[in-house]
A and B are shown apart, each in its own frame.
Chain A
Amino acid sequence: GDSVTQMEGPVTLSEEAFLTINCTYTATGYPSLFWYVQYPGEGLQLLLKATKADDKGSNKGFEATYRKETTSFHLEKGSVQVSDSAVYFCALSDGSGYSTLTFGKGTMLLVSP
């Protein structure tokens, strides 16, 4: 079945550092890929998405590129802020036409001033 693997956390960074959170996937067909973020005390929010190979999703300074050849969708941000501290989930939908998602385990990001 489909699966998503993302790097273990927590990831601890100082403010303005560069962020990479790795995500790789296994899927049949042509999945859409997502990054969701969960801030403390809140629900999951869609951060960005990409629906086909070589697409780049971007939002709030975060970016991720759909790499079919390496089955990856790594999340990057050039300069993190304390307010970016959250849990980040990589996910895919199988392209069946519905939004049923397969998630990774989540990566906690802690940014210190």
Chain B
Amino acid sequence: EAGVTQFPSHSVIEKGQTVTLRCDPISGHDNLYWYRRVMGKEIKFLLHFVKESKQDESGMPNNRFLAERTGGTYSTLKVQPAELEDSGVYFCASSPFANSPLHFGNGTRLTVT
């Protein structure tokens, strides 16, 4: 089966610009998660979708971040406007059931200059 796929693998943008990250979960996985690792820090939870609904968005840092999962398939994470501190690696993960192990994508490395 195809794994979790993230696009792009790298993105370099200037402060103030907008970037949209995409995640395609494993087919049939209702649960989709976004995480972020800022350089040298822990991987932090951002939010969790169950199908198209946001189950938990307690980790979203501020209202410059908008996540969507229309139709319960792929998800996008938009950062608008981007700030320097948004730089890091954004990971997406999916799972078929609520408490089953997560399958992670390779991540998107975002650099804001």
Contacts and interface: CB of A to CB of B under 8 A. Distances in A.
| A and B from one complex | yes
Interface of A: 4, 34, 36, 41-46, 49, 89, 91, 93, 97-106
A40 to B, nearest CB: 11
Given A44-B91, A105-B41, A99 B101 contact: yes
Contact of A44 (B44, B56, B98, B104): B104
Contact of A103 (B4, B43, B48, B105): B43
Given A43-B104, A99-B95, A104-B42, 12 more contacts: A4-B42, A43-B4, A44-B102, A44-B104, A45-B104, A89-B43, A93-B99, A98-B48, A98-B55, A98-B98, A100-B45, A101-B45
B75 interface: no
Given A4-B42, A43-B4, A98-B55, A49 B48 contact: no
A103 B98 contact: no
Contacts of A106: 37, 42-43
Nearest to A46: B101
Given A41-B106, A99-B100, A105 B91 contact: no
A105 B37 CA distance: 9
B56 A98 contact: yes
A103 B89 CA distance: 14
B40 interface: yes
A100 B33 contact: yes
Interface of B: 3-4, 31, 33, 35, 37, 40-45, 48, 55-56, 91, 93, 95, 98-102, 104-107
Contacts of B105: 43
Given A41-B106, A99-B33, A100-B48, A49 B101 contact: yes
23 contacts: A4-B42, A43-B3, A46-B101, A46-B102, A89-B43, A91-B43, A97-B98, A98-B31, A98-B56, A98-B98, A99-B33, A99-B98, A99-B101, A100-B33, A100-B45, A100-B48, A100-B56, A101-B35, A101-B43, A101-B45, A102-B45, A103-B44, A106-B42
